Structure 1
Amino acid sequence: MSYYVQSAEAVTDPLFDFTGKVALVTGGSRGLGRTMALALAERGADLIVASRKVENCEAVAAQAASVGRRALGVSCHAGRWDQIEALVERAYDSFGKVDILINNAGMSPLAPSSLETEERLVDAVLALNFKGPFRLSALVGSRMAAGDGGAIINVSSLGAVRPNAQIAAYASAKAALNALTRAHAAEFAPKVRVNAILPGSFRTDVAQHWPADKEARTPAAMRRFGEPDEAVTAALYLASDRSSFTTGTLVRVDGGWP
């Protein structure tokens, strides 16, 4: 089974039409970010795809361009403020605006215990999962609020509300991202809506490194992992005017974890 959209194809969607909108997606070259980015492009959005490997970003941008979208791939470490600032300047120089920001870039390393977790690992996890979205949302959200508004979607994690010892640093960073979602929803209102998606376990490239029996042991009501496409509608809803009265909300897409 393929885990990813293999090619972008323009679609007519009566609910979600993003014609004339510009979307910026971090971590947009693979996994949930890639699927969300292409779903927006398929429905009319021009696209800025950012991640550390520019060739992967350009490949996704090429798919978006193949259905008539303006698209740009940019190398950016989403945990480093200097690179974030450069990304924002390039986005506005190239497109003049950003209507949709998806903070998807993240990392979720396991650790045997908190005692054995090194400071540099905690710093790296916080930088990518919290400090980066904080700065990127501040830069883009303030411009949205001063202009025509927009939507910000933070991709958090079920781990933020269902933490365990092996992901203590990651879960804490994502919990901070949840708090930031609500804080920015208040700060940038009423023109900007800020929401978060909390995915459970999905079949992305990361899942290939999980234990073979992890899916069989999931406590989710659906008794399986999710496919990336199953998170798309939540993203489309939160990015669109269909969610015009939804802000500061944490949407769980986790297959029904208890």
Structure 2
Amino acid sequence: MTKDALPIHGSTAVVLGPRGTAYDVLREAFESVGVKLVDDTGGQDVAVPDICCALLTGTAVLDSATPSAPLPRGNLARIAAAMAGRGSGRMILVLDGGGGLHTGVPAEEAAARAADLAWWRQLAARLSCHGVLANQIRVGIAPCLSHRPGPQRTAAVLRHLPLRRVAQPADLAAAVLHLASEGCGYTVAETIPVDGGMGLTMVPPLRPSRARTESTEPFDQSRGGADLFDLSGRHCLVVGGSSGIGREAALELARRGADVTVVARREREILAVAHEIATLGRRAEAVRQDVSHLDALEPLVERLWSAARIDALVYATGLCEPEAPDHQPALRERALDVNYRGYVTLADALVRRWASDRRGGAVVAIGSAGAGFVPGLESYAASKAALIQHTRSLAVSGGRHRIRANCVQPGLISTPMADASAHEGFQDAWLARIPQGRAGLPGDVAPLVAYLVSDASAYVTGAVLHVDGGLALGGLPPLAGNGGLA
């Protein structure tokens, strides 16, 4: 896979932070896709890079050989202002640690990092309306970040990870390339956890598992860079692929080399999507199926599997209807069937297959920011919340079988369902709380789905990643001017 297949934002990048292993990982990642690494001298006459990476690594909790240094806020603010003036740019913060509170971290380090991260997220919110996207990558235990916890402490950490291995350079490099890509255009101040599921706070199983428990490398370490995004030879099952996010996800998977089976209720629409996939040179199959007919789903998986192994499930279907007292019980049951039970039935059938053949698999569930606190959407919210929780639990139980499970949480996305169900005033109220100032498109979500399906995210599991223009930051609508960028 080339830079053309994974379009990167611009052609120059700068890395701010100590020279060493992490710096070298980022340099090699950018060079692999034709991006030139340039030095930052701090001068006003220096050309503005297209991509800026900052390293906030060296946490004491992972016995880093290189102590953590403060974030270079002055340089970052200067570069950010220049990017904003130009109207484009990508900024990426790489930090280490597992999220949450670790008593092994000195209180001063924890406080300094919290302040740096709050400063960064505030900057990200202000930059987003100027065409500059700032996001974070949090890396778990990683020798490539100079972590040296020793064999006993490493084993103790791995015991609490669904994916029982340390982070490899390719894991960090791929996450950086995703955030630096043109397709990552509606993600603001989001954190990709490249940590093997460390942030899930997993408790080891109650009973010994018969699944493999040794450290595993789930992809060929000779591959790297854009090659990890290549889906050639994979077969993906996309549920809800007739329109909106599901349709665009199916097409994006095909563009990256996957064969795709599209499942939905509307036959004409899925036949059209299958035809588009075929024109991309990939094998396509259209299956008309209502996922609320639960008894038909496991036989469907068995039939599809008998023809070709399924490597990934993308569940993008959904039922979103406002509630009314006269049909509330029926709506609640149907919402649970479409948004949750259908997903669980399909995922269970695939997990059994994947655990049996020991080749692993990937699950990507599409949640919704509308599953928060929107009046009249109680059943929709509950069913989507169940989908998210099940996915994170699946990440924990499936990790030993090399099964990864992640959620994508879209915000206000212009889809047929959203456009039909949300009146203009409702959408205006949403837009007032989105720092980027626009609604998203299905094409903004599809690249993240493809990343989570691919080996590029082989060390990402149990994540809930937002594609919402910054809505998840949770700020109020502007009560005053946006202020400066510093």
Q: TM-score, normalised by structure 2?
A: 0.49
Contact 1:216/1:223 (<8 A) preserved: no
Which has the larger displacement, 209-218 or 239-248? 209-218
**Aligned twin of 2:428:** 216
How far apart, in 2, do the equivalents of 1:230 and 1:91 lie? 29
**Aligned twin of 2:418:** 207
Superposed, 1:47-62 pairs within 5 Å as 47-62=260-275
Which of 89, 93, 97 is the aligned partner of 2:302? Answer: 89
Contact 1:153/1:239 (<8 A) preserved: yes
What displacement does 1:116 show?
Answer: 4.8
**Aligned twin of 1:236:** 450
Superposed, 1:104-115 pairs within 5 Å as 104-112=316-324, 115=325
How far apart, in 1, do the equivalents of 2:381 and 2:419 lie? 21
- Listed one character per residue, the Cα deviations across residues 208-228 of structure 1 (whole Å, up to 9, x for unaligned) are 322123332221212221011
SS in 2 for 1:152: strand
Q: TM-score, normalised by structure 1?
A: 0.90
How far apart, in 1, do the equivalents of 2:289 and 2:439 lie? 29
SS in 2 for 1:252: strand
> Does 1:12 pair with 2:5?
yes
How far apart, in 2, do the equivalents of 1:138 and 1:131 lie? 10
What displacement does 1:89 show?
Answer: 2.1
Contact 1:142/1:188 (<8 A) preserved: no
What displacement does 1:12 show?
Answer: 3.2
How far apart, in 2, do the equivalents of 1:64 and 1:164 lie? 36
Moved over 3 A (4+): none
How far apart, in 1, do the equivalents of 2:418 and 2:426 lie? 9
How far apart, in 2, do the equivalents of 1:175 and 1:215 lie? 22
Q: Tell me the percent identity.
A: 33
Amino acid at match of 1:19: S
How far apart, in 2, do the equivalents of 1:250 and 1:184 lie? 13
Contact 1:34/1:60 (<8 A) preserved: yes
Contact 2:252/2:447 (<8 A) preserved: no
How far apart, in 1, do the equivalents of 2:287 and 2:276 lie? 15
Q: Structure 1 pair 172/38, CA: closer, same or farther in 2 (3 Å)?
A: same
**Aligned twin of 2:387:** 177
How far apart, in 2, do the equivalents of 1:216 and 1:159 lie? 14
How far apart, in 1, do the equivalents of 2:425 and 2:285 lie? 39
How far apart, in 2, do the equivalents of 1:195 and 1:120 lie? 29
Amino acid at match of 2:337: A
What displacement does 1:111 show?
Answer: 1.8
Which of 75, 97, 112 is the aligned partner of 2:288? Answer: 75
What displacement does 1:117 show?
Answer: 4.7
What displacement does 1:171 show?
Answer: 0.3
Report how many residues are paired: 244
**Aligned twin of 1:225:** 439
How far apart, in 2, do the equivalents of 1:163 and 1:213 lie? 17
**Aligned twin of 1:165:** 375
**Aligned twin of 1:101:** 313
SS in 2 for 1:164: coil
SS in 2 for 1:225: coil
Amino acid at match of 1:150: G
Contact 2:362/2:403 (<8 A) preserved: yes
Amino acid at match of 2:236: A
What displacement does 1:187 show?
Answer: 1.9
> Does 1:196 pair with 2:410?
no
How far apart, in 2, do the equivalents of 1:207 and 1:169 lie? 16
- Listed one character per residue, the Cα deviations across residues 111-161 of structure 1 (whole Å, up to 9, x for unaligned) are 25xx5552111100000001111111000122122221111001111133x
Which has the larger displacement, 231-240 or 18-27? 231-240
SS in 2 for 1:146: helix
Which has the larger displacement, 81-90 or 71-80? 81-90
How far apart, in 2, do the equivalents of 1:223 and 1:237 lie? 25
> Does 1:254 pair with 2:254?
no
Contact 2:323/2:331 (<8 A) preserved: no
- Structure 2, unaligned runs of 5 or more: 7-225, 475-486
- Listed one character per residue, the Cα deviations across residues 73-102 of structure 1 (whole Å, up to 9, x for unaligned) are 00111122222123212211222x111100
Amino acid at match of 2:314: I
